[in-house]
A and B are shown apart, each in its own frame.
Chain A
Amino acid sequence: MARYRSVLDLIGNTPMVDASALSPNPDVSIWVKLEGRNPAGSVKDRVALSLVESAEADGTLVPGKPDQILIEPSSGNTGIALAMVCRLKGYHLKVVLPTNVSIERRQLLEVFGAEIIESPGSEGSNGAVRMARQLAAENPEWVFLYQYANPANPRAHYEHTGPEIWADCPEVTHFVAGLGTSGTLLGVGRFLKEKNPDIQVWAIEPPTGEMVDGLRNLDDGYIPPIFADLGGAEILDRKTVVRPRESIEWTRKMTDLGLFVGISSGAVMAGAIRCASQIPEGEKATIVTISSDDGWKYLSTGAWTDDLDTVVERATQVIYF
C-alpha cells in the first residue's frame, strides 16, 4: 500500500473507468474520471488546494498566523473541500451557502468546522455569490479567494486534471464536463486542445436559469469572470442543457456499472450519450467525462430509491449540480 504524510497528498490522480457499456454508438467509447475519489469527496478538492496554496504563495494567506478568516460562496463541494483544507492548515472558513442544498452538503461543512452563512435559496448560486462579495467588501481583512474569478481554479485543472486525462487516455476525441464556475472545462479543455486541437469540448449545464427566481432583469445575470478572462467561448465547442429527469435517469443507469455517483454526474453522462449518438457510425471516438462527486451526499434526495416523478419535482427545488 502506498503511504502518505498528509490527506492533501491524496488529492488528484483519480482513476478512470470504462462506461462504454452505456454508449448508444458501438464506435464510441466512454470513460468516466471518478473525482469522488478525492479525500473530501469531489473534484473541488483540487480547486480548494490550488486556491489556498496560490494565496499562500503570494502572501495573501500566511501559514501558521492565527485568526486568518476566509469567505467563499459555495453550493457545497467547494465549501466542503475548502473546509477540509482550512482545517488542516488552521484557517477559519465562512461559507455562504444557499438554503436549498442537500442536508449532507451542509453537514459535511459542519464536520470540517466551517461556519455557514445562509443565502436565499430562491436566488441560487447567484445569491450566494452576491452576498459573499458584499461581506468581503465590508470586511476587507477577510480573505476572499473567489473561485469564479481566481485563475488558480482553472489552473488546478490545466496542471493536473488535464495532464492526468492525457496520460491515461491519449486517444480522447471529446471531453464532456459540467459547467459551474467553468474551471474544469477551461483548464482541462485548454490543456487538451494544446495537445490535440481537434478534441471537442462539450459543456453540460442544468436549466439553472429557469430555477432562479430572484432576477429582477437580465443584467442581473452572471458570467464567471474566469470564463471571459480565459476565452471560454473559444474553448467550448458545444454547450447543452440536461434537465433533471434525464440527469436522474442516467444517475440510476450508472449503477448498472457499479457507479454510485452524484446527480450532476448523471447529467454529464446524459450529455456524453447525446454526444456519442451524434457521432456518425463508423467514426471511432473516445469520450472522456468527469464525475464530480459520488452519490453519498444525495441519498436524502431519494434519487435512487423514490418514485422518479417525485424525485424530479424535488430536484427542481434543490441545487444538485
Chain B
Amino acid sequence: MSVAVRLPTVLRAHAGGQAVVEINGSTIGEVLTTLVEQHPGLSGQVIGEDGTLNKFVNIYVNDDDVRYLQQLDTPVKDGDEISILPAVAGGSV
C-alpha cells in the first residue's frame, strides 16, 4: 500500500529536501515508522520516545486529523495523501 506523505518545510531538511515521500504501510503508525527508518533525522520529531504523536504535530489523512479518527491505528489505502503539519495559531483571531 503506497501513500504520499507531505512534509512541512521545517522537516524537509531531514528528508533530503523532499516535500513529498512515497511510503508503504497499512496504518498511519506503520507509515510513520517506515518514514523514520528511511530518514533517521526525523526520529523524535513526529513520534516521541513514548510512541505517541508529538503534541505540536497534526497528521492528516486526506485532510482529516488522525487524532479524531483512530490515531496511529488509522488505516490508510493506496493513493491516500498523508500530510504532516505543525500546530499553529488559527486564523479568525
| Chain A residues in the interface with B (C-beta under 8 A) | 42-44, 73-79, 124-126, 128-129, 147-148, 178-182, 205-210, 212-213, 215-224, 233, 236-243, 264, 292, 319-321
Given A221-B57, A236-B68, A238-B68: A213 in contact with B9 (beta carbons within 8 A):
yes
Q: State the CA gap A75–B57 with chains docked (Å).
A: 23
Instruction: Note all chain A residues with C-beta closer than 8 A to B55.
Output: 221, 223
Question: Can you list 20 A-B pairs, Cβ within 8 angstroms, ordered by A?
Answer: A42-B92, A77-B93, A124-B89, A124-B91, A125-B88, A125-B93, A126-B89, A178-B91, A181-B90, A208-B88, A208-B89, A209-B8, A218-B54, A221-B57, A237-B68, A240-B63, A240-B64, A292-B92, A321-B90, A321-B92
Which residues of chain B come closer than 8 Å to A213, judged between CB atoms?
9
Q: How far is the CA of A74 from the CA of B9 in the complex (A)?
A: 25
Residues of chain B in range 7-59 having any CB-CB distance to chain A below 8 Å? 8-11, 45, 54-58
Residues of A contacting B72 in the complex (Cβ-Cβ under 8 angstroms)? none
**Interchain CB contact under 8 A, B10 and A206:** no
CA distance in complex: A239, B54 (Å): 17
Query: What's the least CB distance linking B62 to chain A, in Å?
Result: 9
| Min C-beta distance of B37 to chain A, whole Å | 19
Complex contacts, B57 vs chain A, CB 8 Å: 218, 221
Q: How far is the CA of A181 from the CA of B93 in the complex (A)?
A: 6
B75 at interface, CB cutoff 8 A: no
Residues on B lying within 8 angstroms of A by beta carbon are 8-11, 45, 54-58, 60, 63-65, 67-68, 83, 85-93
- On whether the beta carbons of A241 and B63 are closer than 8 Å, the reply is yes
Q: Which residue of B lies closest to A264 (CB)?
A: B92
B10 touches A179 (CB 8 A): no
The number of inter-chain residue pairs (CB within 8 angstroms) is 127
* CB within 8 Å for A218 and B93 given contacts A223-B55, A241-B60: no
Across the interface, A215 reaches (CB within 8 A) one of B65, B86, B92, namely: B86
A218 and B56 in contact (CB under 8 A), knowing A209-B8, A209-B85?
A: yes
Known: A124-B88, A179-B90, A180-B92. A215 touches B60 (CB 8 A): no
| Across-interface contacts of A206 in B (CB, < 8 A) | 91
Residues of B within 8 A of A219 (CB): 56
Q: How far is the CA of A208 from the CA of B45 in the complex (A)?
A: 19
Cα separation A180 to B87 with both chains bound (whole Å): 11
Measured between beta carbons, the chain A residues less than 8 angstroms from B89 are 124-126, 128-129, 148, 208, 222, 224
**Cβ–Cβ < 8 Å partners of B86 in chain A:** 209, 212, 215, 218, 220-221
